[in-house]
Amino acid sequence: MQLTGAQALIKSLEMEGVEVMFGLPGGAILPVYDPILSSSIRHVLVRHEQGAGHMAEGYALATGRPGVAMVTSGPGATNIVTPLSNAYMDSTPLVVISGQVPTAAIGTDAFQECDITGVTMGITKHNWLVKSAQDIPEVVASAFHLATTGRPGPVLVDVPKDVSFAQMEWYWPDHLDLAGYRLPGAPRRADVEAAVALMAAAERPVVYAGGGILKARAAEALRALADLTGFPVVTTLMARGAFPDSHPQCLGMPGMHGNFTAVTAMQRADLLVALGARFDDRVTGRVDAFAPGAKVVHVDVDAAELHKVRRADVAIAGDCKVVIDALLQAAAPALGGPDAAARIGPWWEELRRWQREVPLHYERHDGPPIKPQMVVETLRDLSPSDTIVASGVGQHQMWASQYWRFDHPYTWVNSGGAGTMGFAVPAAIGAKVGRPERTVWAIDGDGCFQMTAQELVTASAERIPVKVAILNNAYLGMVRQWQEMFYGERYSEVYLSPDLPDYVKWAEAMGAVGLRAESPEEVAPAIEKANAVEDRPVVIDFRTDAFEKVFPMVPAGASNDDIVVHPEHEERAGAERLAWERLAAEQRR
């Protein structure tokens, strides 16, 4: 069967089971847009290519399937660089197809030419410039294979216009020529046994669960491991939902804005079992002061993560699910049971006391302005437990992660490694496209919202009823917080304004319902009104306290021991610190 390159490209996407892609056409990709008219694949026309990329990411994070985006050459391609970088940092499977100027024009500075494979080399798992239409099925199949296996990530396929027009003989590859691409196999028995031995001896263990748990679809395996061992579990920003917050062993989020117990548990641990986590600086704080007494078992599908930041005592390159299953099988006799429970009993007493003494805290009050944390709590309480929450980057993101209760995997759609402002709205749209039966809330900042809000036009046009809660503090709040705490309250270029733009009018102009809440008693009614809207997007402008700060906080570059909690709890945290130091000194004696 003879096809054009463009037809072969769309057919290859169909062969890969793609049901939806996000994109925006232009000159170099025009030939590929023609066969879309007769394809089963749904195309969502975005208003900016960055939106296409983040939608594809949101789709991937909510469904586990690769997200697909299509853009034209030059500016179309460069507009999707930020999502590629974001997906690279968060290991999200993303396949981007870009148009390119005709092969003969490459290198001549032709109209809308950009060396996008060169630009994205460092932020893709791999990329291709397709030289012949005959290669298209093979390249597309390879692209999906690379994006979704091992440590997932973004890939880019750049297709020159003449290649799209050229004829090819259709085939579908039954074997991929990826001589240099290997996946880790089963873990070695000796490593598994060494890990179990450390776990069986630990008195203060912590399971440090990262985003790799979700990528490996290992949430159930993790649950089984936790149930067997009785170990406490922290879930990083990338792993929220990988272990239920309502599980009694869940300590919640560690790191720069983690809660006191999660952060301190890691600091005081004698064993960290790191599963699909990469000792990111936002988790470790100052590395040489991080978890000083802990042995480390480190499991990661990417061997390059092992020993990268922290030397592991047992390092296992492998898929989290495969390795956890191996640990479970090997562990059963050695771990669990009354002896094990007794061994870690005192540790649990310690942890429970920290949770009781130094919980997450903010000052609740009745009048305006609204406390942002209270908005998150109310949203949480008025939403189904399987609601998908997307977030931007800033204070609102940290409050969302801290105060939501994540009880299901794949319900938290967030930009972790890159911290990309503007992620929430398009990512929420992508998540809703992938999971239309779920409620999808974007918890966004006023600054973030202004970066990508125009995608609500896409959502209205395509009837994708996402909900957006703007925690409108009139500031680039996270930056304002740093200037307050570390730059002597010298506020430089962080003020935005509460009512410029008018978010309600803007929402309405984009075909969405616009609502506003200015005092605490208006919060729940506004959310209830929003929840009743099912046929279009809805935006609530919550006027929140501009001076609220995110606590706890480990200042950048400081040790996790120097965690700053809410001022009202500073004394108690100090007492816990002293008590611990006394205990440690006694043990040394």
Ligand X SMILES: Cc1ncc(C[n+]2csc(CCOP(=O)(O)OP(=O)(O)O)c2C)c(N)n1
Residues acting as catalytic residues: 49, 111-112, 161, 478
**CA distance linking residue 569 with residue 386, whole number of Å:** 32
Q: 190, 253 in Cβ contact below 8 A?
A: no
CA separation for the pair 414, 422 (Å, rounded):
11
CB count within 10 Å of CB 388 equals: 27
For the chain, how many residues are written?
589
Any contact of residue 182 with other proteins (CB under 8 A)? yes
For position 193 contacting other proteins by CB under 8 A, the verdict is: yes
306 vs 424, which CB is nearer to ligand X? 424
Q: Report if residue 140 touches other proteins, rule: CB under 8 A.
A: no
- Smallest distance, Å, CB 227 to ligand X? 36
Total site size for ligand X, rule CB under 6 A: 19
Residue 391 engages Mg ion in binding (rule: CB under 5 A): no
Which is nearer to Mg ion, 306 or 550 (by Cβ)? 550
Query: From the CB of 87, what's the least distance to other proteins, in Å?
Result: 16
Sole residue written with tokens 């641990």: 269
**x/- map, 441-470, ligand X, by CB under 6 A:** ----xxxx----------------------
Of 228-236, 252-260, 389-397, 525-533, the segment contacting ligand X by CB under 6 A is 389-397
The three-state secondary structure class of 429 is helix
Q: Which does 154 bind (CB under 5 to 8 A by kind): Mg ion, ligand X, other proteins, none?
A: none
Of residues 294 through 323, those in contact with other proteins by CB under 8 A are: 302-304, 306-308, 317, 322
How many helices (H) and strands (E) are present in the chain, helices listed first?
Answer: 24, 20
Per CB under 8 A, the segment of 72-80, 106-114, 125-133, 258-266 that binds other proteins is 125-133
Site for other proteins contains 184 (CB under 8 A):
yes
Three-class DSSP category at 569: helix
| Contacting range for other proteins; rule: CB under 8 A; set: 84-92, 187-195, 394-402, 541-549 | 187-195
> For residues 86 and 284, which CB has a smaller minimum distance to ligand X in the complex?
86
Grouping H, G, I as helix, E, B as strand and the rest as coil, residue 396 is helix
CA dist list (Å): 348 to 187, 228, 248, 250, 344: 30, 15, 11, 12, 6
For residue 555, cis peptide bond before it (omega within 30 degrees of 0): no
* Amino acid identity for residue 530 in this structure: A
User: Which is closer to other proteins, CB of 281 or CB of 462?
Assistant: 281
Reference 140, options 3, 5, 19; nearest CA is 5
Nearest to other proteins of 304, 485 (CB atom): 304
Residue 141 contacts residue 170 (beta carbons within 8 Å): no
Going along 224-339, which residue ranges are E strands? Answer: 233-235, 250-252, 271-275, 295-300, 314-317
Assess whether the previous peptide bond of 205 is cis (omega < 30° from 0): no
Q: Is 178 in the site for other proteins (CB under 8 A)?
A: yes
- Compute the half-sphere exposure of residue 226: CA atoms within 13 Å on the CB side of its CA: 25
124-132, 225-233, 431-439, 449-457 -> range binding other proteins (CB under 8 A): 124-132
446 binds Mg ion (CB under 5 A): yes
Q: Which residues are 538's β-sheet partners?
A: 467, 513
Structure tokens at 303: 């061997």
Closest separation in Å from C-beta 468 to ligand X: 12
Q: Which residue is nearest to ligand X (CB)?
A: 445
In the set 241, 477, 514, 552, which binds Mg ion (CB under 5 A)? 477
Among 84, 202, 330, 433, binds other proteins (CB under 8 A): 330
Binding residues for Mg ion, total number by CB under 5 A: 6
| Interacting partner of 184 out of other proteins, Mg ion, ligand X, none (Cβ under 5 to 8 A depending on kind) | other proteins
Spatial distance between the Cα atoms of 317 and 14, rounded to a whole number of angstroms: 33
Helix axes 136-148, 5-15, angle to 10 degrees: 30
User: Which of Mg ion, ligand X, other proteins, none interacts with 53 (beta carbon under 5 to 8 A by kind)?
Assistant: none
Query: Interaction with Mg ion in 406-445: which residues (CB under 5 A)?
Result: 445
Q: Which of residues 468-527 bind ligand X (CB under 6 A)?
A: 471, 473, 475-479
Minimal distance in Å, beta carbon 292 to other proteins?
21
For residue 94, the surrounding DSSP H or E stretch is strand 94-100
Task: Return the ∠ at Cα 71 (arms to 66 and 74), rounded to 5°.
Answer: 135
Question: Which segments of 411-452 are extended strands (E)?
Answer: 412-413, 440-445
The reply on whether position 372 binds Mg ion by CB under 5 A is: no
Contact call for residue 396 and ligand X (CB under 6 A): yes
* CB closer to Mg ion, 100 vs 544: 544
Helix (H) / strand (E) element for 514: namely: strand 513-517
Task: Round to whole Å and give the CA distance between 400 and 419.
Answer: 14
What type of residue sits at position 561? D
> Looking at 82, 373, 473, 544, which residue binds Mg ion (CB under 5 A)?
473
Binding footprint of Mg ion on the chain (CB under 5 A): 445-447, 473, 475, 477
Interacting residues with ligand X (CB under 6 A): 392-396, 419-421, 445-448, 471, 473, 475-479
Residues forming contacts to other proteins in the complex (CB under 8 A) are 117-118, 121-122, 125-126, 129, 131, 146, 178-190, 192-193, 302-304, 306-308, 317, 322, 326, 329-330
